[in-house]
Amino acid sequence: MVQFAKDDDTVVVIVGSGAGGGTLANELCQKGVNVVLLEAGKRQSSATFINDEWPSFKQLAWLDTRTTSGSWRIARDFPNLPSWICKTVGGTTTHWAGASLRFHDYEFKTRTTYGGIKGANVMDWPLSLDELEPYYARAEDKMGVTRTNDIPGLPGNNNFKIMYSGATKVGYKTCHTGRMAINSRPRAGRGRCLQLGFCFQGCKSGAKWSTLYTEIPAAEATGKLELRTEAHVARIEHDAAGKANAVVYFDADGKEQRQKARVVCVAGNSIETPRLLLMSASAKYPDGLANSSGQVGRNYMRHTTGSVYAYFRDPVHFYRGTVMAGVITDEVPNNPKRGFVGGYEFETISLGLPFYAAFLDPGAWGSKFATFMDHYKSTAGMWIVGEDLAQKSNRITLNSMVKDQYGLPVPNVHYDDHPNDVAMREHAYKQGEAIYRAVGALDVIRTPPYPSTHNLGTCRMSEKASDGVCNKHGQTHDIPNLFISDGSQFTSGGAANPTLTIVSLAIRQAEYIAEQLAARSL
């Protein structure tokens, strides 16, 4: 495997190996660019993944201390676990369930479409669907998304059968087994889905797309990639002119290392990415890197989520087969008559018995909870994914009172629901309950949001440098050779799982960086 010298200042350094960083690394390597990819976690594989929820969680999840504040229920139930994302090669593409939906045209123009909304910081993207469409197409092909590129849909499991029947009965028209980055038949050297039911625990069959066993080995095969695992980045440094020139990290032995860089791309997910920019504050940039707008860490979005579970007279075994086995998209289009702007989708969800107990109704006790557990075998579940609105005060800050294992300030995640989020969630809960009641549910329960998997917006794209952190290529307004390469770029969240959009943006960003390097503009 190629190794680059620490003082080699011609390399592109990418922080994070998930959907954004892992894809960007491969795309750059395919174009002949030398890349050092720094990943805080260890390298697992399909062989080492574990079909057991708690041990798998310990293997893959980002468990470094974080703190929370705000009125969201997470701050009460999981005060040190605001998000459920991963610290491992492949990042959260090891954990994601594979749902790959495109944004709609108006979802890039939310300020224009929704108008000004009190208390929210809604803004149009500096990018349109037209511009992103070719990259969506490339991402779908790369990821093997079902119902695109002549790839058949997946067969629905028992959980989907219930969703489909209920959705049809309440009058919904668009319910199917989704656009999933999970092989319905062998493709790209990976096998067909075995319906394991452990999508969240790392796919042991490799049927689900993850940068771990697609992008990263492909990049390694070019001889242009050096992946360094257990490399926890502490700060980005800059030269006297203000351009990024090195990345400082702690290696597996806890020793500080410094890698010089021609370009630095940050893809640490929407909590670590702004944390890193804020921790890199210097005399020249006292508020952190790329933060002249003051927007670094702000506008944190996490989707208006929630779940509805129901139990029935007869068995379901909802834990068998793909976790997100189907989708209902009728509620996606913006229709303010419902009492909120934006939209939401439903996806089936299932949890194993241990996580069902942990997340069904955190903190609950007594007979209602016990009765739901008693009916585990005859339970069905769905998850709500809706657009939440950016707010300036929902933000990642450095908590200097609490230090991590390297002595660095931990990130604090502050979140309050906007009234629009509350109205949307209420609507979705009611509709979800109606779906299950329509097919004979004996009882239904509203499960509050889990620790966030869709963390977005904390280094948002903007047309003007005063409104956001980066431009439509993810290039920061302030520092031309510093890029944001993950979901932090999102100006708004859409009613779609973010991975497909993150991958599309990474493919597009790689083209831009390669062009700029060739033109010696970087």
Applying CB under 8 A, the residues found at the interface with other proteins are 51-54, 152-158, 160-162, 164-165, 175-177, 184-185, 192-198, 204-205, 314-317, 319-321, 326, 352-354, 356-358, 365-367, 369-370, 373-374, 376-377, 439
Task: Return the number of the residue (185 or 392) whose C-beta is nearest other proteins.
Answer: 185
Angle, CA 87 vertex, CA 84 and CA 88 arms, to 5°: 125
Tokens 């006292």 belong to 286
Please say whether the beta carbons of 476 and 297 come within 8 A.
no
Smallest separation, CB 343 to other proteins (Å): 20
Angle, CA 456 vertex, CA 454 and CA 458 arms, to 5°: 150
Tally the C-alpha atoms within 13 A of residue 474's C-alpha that lie toward its C-beta: 31
Task: Return the number of the residue (34 or 157) whose C-beta is nearest other proteins.
Answer: 157
Q: Is the dihedral of CA 117, 120, 126, 131 positive or negative?
A: negative
Task: Return the number of the residue (30 or 378) whose C-beta is nearest other proteins.
Answer: 378
Task: Return the number of the residue (56 or 295) whose C-beta is nearest other proteins.
Answer: 56
DSSP helix/strand/coil, 225: strand
Task: Return the number of the residue (114 or 356) whose C-beta is nearest other proteins.
Answer: 356
Please say whether the beta carbons of 401 and 418 come within 8 A.
no
Please say whether the beta carbons of 484 and 295 come within 8 A.
no
- Name the H helices within 147-230: 158-169, 215-221
Smallest separation, CB 384 to other proteins (Å): 20
Task: Return the number of the residue (175 or 264) whose C-beta is nearest other proteins.
Answer: 175
Task: Return the number of the residue (320 or 338) whose C-beta is nearest other proteins.
Answer: 320
Assigned token pair, 477? 């307004």
Nearest CA among 39, 519, 501, 428 for reference residue 266 = 39
Task: Return the number of the residue (7 or 314) whose C-beta is nearest other proteins.
Answer: 314
Q: Report the DSSP pairing between strands 263-266 and 12-15.
A: parallel
Residue 229, beta-bridge partner list = none
Report the alpha-carbon distance of residue 219 to residue 206 in Å, rounded.
18
Smallest separation, CB 410 to other proteins (Å): 22
Smallest separation, CB 86 to other proteins (Å): 19
Assigned token pair, 15? 């922080």
Task: Return the number of the residue (173 or 255) whose C-beta is nearest other proteins.
Answer: 173
Nearest CA among 111, 198, 128 for reference residue 504 = 128
Smallest separation, CB 367 to other proteins (Å): 6
Assigned token pair, 24? 């960007």
Give CA 91 to chain center in angstroms: 10
Quickly count: other Cβ atoms within 10 Å of residue 179's Cβ. Answer: 24
Smallest separation, CB 215 to other proteins (Å): 23
